[in-house]
Amino acid sequence: MVEPIIQLITVIGGTLALAVPFGLYIARLIAYETRPLERTLSRVENGFFRVIGIDKNRQMTWKEYFLALILTNGIVFGFVFFVLLFQDSIPILSNPTREGFTADLAFNTAISFVTNTDLQHYLGDQQLTVFSQMVALTFMMFVAPASGIAAAFAFIRAFIRKNFGLGNFYVDFTRVIITLLLPVAFLSSLLLMFFGVPQTLDSSVDVTTVEGRQQIIVTGPVSSLESIKELGSNGGGYYGANSAHPFENPNGLSNTYEIMLMLVIPVAFPIAYGKLLGAGRGVSILIAMLIGFGFLLAVGNVAESGPGALETRFGSFNSVLFNIASISTNTGAVNSGLIGMAPNAVVSLLLAMFVQAIPGADGTGMMTMMVYVIITLFIVGLMVGKTPEFMSMKISSKDIKLAVFIFLIHPALILIPTALAFTTGNAQALVGNDITPLSYTQVLYEYTSAASNNGSDYFGASANTPFWNWTTGIVMLLGRYVPIALMLAIAGSFTVKDRKELIEPIKTQGGLFIMILLIMTFLLTALTFFPFIAIGPFSM
């Protein structure tokens, strides 16, 4: 019992210690304030702006911001799609045994990585070249989280700036990659190499086993992929076994550090929010996220998971801790097989994906939490008979409609495809004709992961069929960009509101607000998804 407590204190304490400087730096980026090494950083950034023809002082409306995000992501999607499609024809860092992906698998994988989902219907160590892993997928692991973080910047600016636009996507996007993700990922890659994660351009090495046999071991630039995989809420592994593979996650030190990497940016956002909009508000959001995370962890550890499908290096608690940290941040990396998770742990993972905000993915988790805040203020306003207010601004009926639609699109993207999979027989083709609570859970989990832009799944490469590739690809696409568009629309609405000293129906800080926000968040989630959990993991 002592060891899990020490492990948990180390993870939470280490994450908070890192999140404070991260949050303060993110606040500077949001407010366009002077940063450490500003002169040097500006020279580097201005060079990029000149090359791509960007006016860094131009402010964008929410529609322009979203269009710039979509355009950037679309160009990168096309690049990755064609790399995967024709990887066998690319002579650089190639492997003669790797064939190009089929069109449906290339579509699914490119959509998966550009939407920050990283759902893998393939085995990376067996089907991808080093070029595809490093130049296509690792590159995408910077683009996807940077897009989500930039969108969160614009969203938060709506509450601190009036009639001044939401910023410039290209400026935010460039700054996030160059001054936040790239340096931290580089240093983390070096640290992971120290822990034992390999980093080489060789696709494999020949070794002689202790029995005197020859064996080919797949290697490559694993450490560089692994660092941004965890930092950027990505989750796609170099190997099919993901973070359960000893090359991706060799020992307890790497396991602990990777957990902190997954949590640090999502946890840093409430700190940045508090720096800009009031410490009390930021701390309240942070505490709500931590309490929610603690609740998920408690549910996940009600019964011990395994021992089957769990790594003996980590055991039950460390596997549950890693997986809940990963799924709650929409990273999707796993250090054990999901089939080895106890039913209560699976319930916890599903709850994390249903909520998407405790703490959620890089950037988008904070945006989703603010949507819950708006819905909570609306409900409380109805209860006390007052017009809902936030930050001295009235919450209009349009804002409420957008927030509710954001909440409702999520279950629709999960439940409709799940029903379609069973009615067309494609689910039975994977799980068998005898539908059990476990097989139903596996299908429900697949679409929940896709809609949440999470990426963890039960099926892996066995879902590499046209039906699963196209349907999950479409769900990932809609699950990413529809909520971001609606959230930016809410942000655009707030930028033109009058700021008056009005009394909020409930102060958006303090113990009462934290309690009501958590109750509303979990209550709405339970009312929406409880029947589907009841016939799934609750019955396993």
Walking along the chain (540 residues) 10 residues at a time, the average pLDDT comes out as 84 96 96 89 88 88 96 97 95 88 97 96 94 95 97 94 85 95 97 96 83 86 96 94 95 96 98 94 96 96 90 91 97 94 95 96 96 93 80 88 95 96 96 93 97 95 97 98 97 86 75 94 91 84
Q: Answer yes or no: do 147 and 16 share one domain.
A: yes
Q: Does the reported pTM lie above 0.75?
A: yes
- DSSP-based three-state secondary structure for 33: coil
Decide if 42 contacts 291 (C-beta within 8 A): no
Is residue 344 in a domain? no
Q: Which of 219, 246, 278 is the last residue of a domain?
A: 278
Domain that holds residue 383: 363-539
Query: Residue 505 has what pLDDT?
Result: 66
Q: Answer yes or no: do 259 and 393 share one domain.
A: no
The string of DSSP letters for 261-301 reads HHHHHHHHHHHHHHHHH-HHHHHHHHHHHHHHHHHHHHHHT
Q: Answer yes or no: do 165 and 273 share one domain.
A: yes
Q: Answer yes or no: do 10 and 143 share one domain.
A: yes
Q: Which of 238, 263, 278 is the last residue of a domain?
A: 278
Q: Answer yes or no: do 371 and 224 share one domain.
A: no
Query: Residue 155 has what pLDDT?
Result: 96
Decide if 117 contacts 332 (C-beta within 8 A): yes
Q: Answer yes or no: do 251 and 382 share one domain.
A: no
Q: Answer yes or no: do 371 and 516 share one domain.
A: yes
Count of domains observed in the chain: 2
Is residue 11 in a domain? yes
pLDDT tens-digit readout, 343-394: 999 999 999 999 999 999 999 999 999 999 999 999 988 887 777 888 878 8
Is residue 301 in a domain? no
Q: Answer yes or no: do 273 and 407 share one domain.
A: no
Beta bridge partners of 206: 216
Q: Answer yes or no: do 246 and 372 share one domain.
A: no
Q: Which two tokens stand for residue 132?
A: 């595809």
Is residue 353 in a domain? no
Query: Residue 504 has what pLDDT?
Result: 65
Q: Answer yes or no: do 95 and 231 share one domain.
A: yes
Q: Answer yes or no: do 73 and 201 share one domain.
A: yes
Decide if 88 contacts 100 (C-beta within 8 A): yes
Is residue 285 in a domain? no
Query: Residue 539 has what pLDDT?
Result: 80
Q: % helix / strand / coil in the chain, to the nearest 5? A: 65, 5, 30
Is residue 495 in a domain? yes
Q: Answer yes or no: do 64 and 191 share one domain.
A: yes
Can you tell me the distance from the alpha carbon of 145 to that of 496, in angstroms, rounded to the nearest whole number?
28
Q: Which of 249, 278, 307 is the last residue of a domain?
A: 278
Is residue 179 in a domain? yes
Is residue 177 in a domain? yes
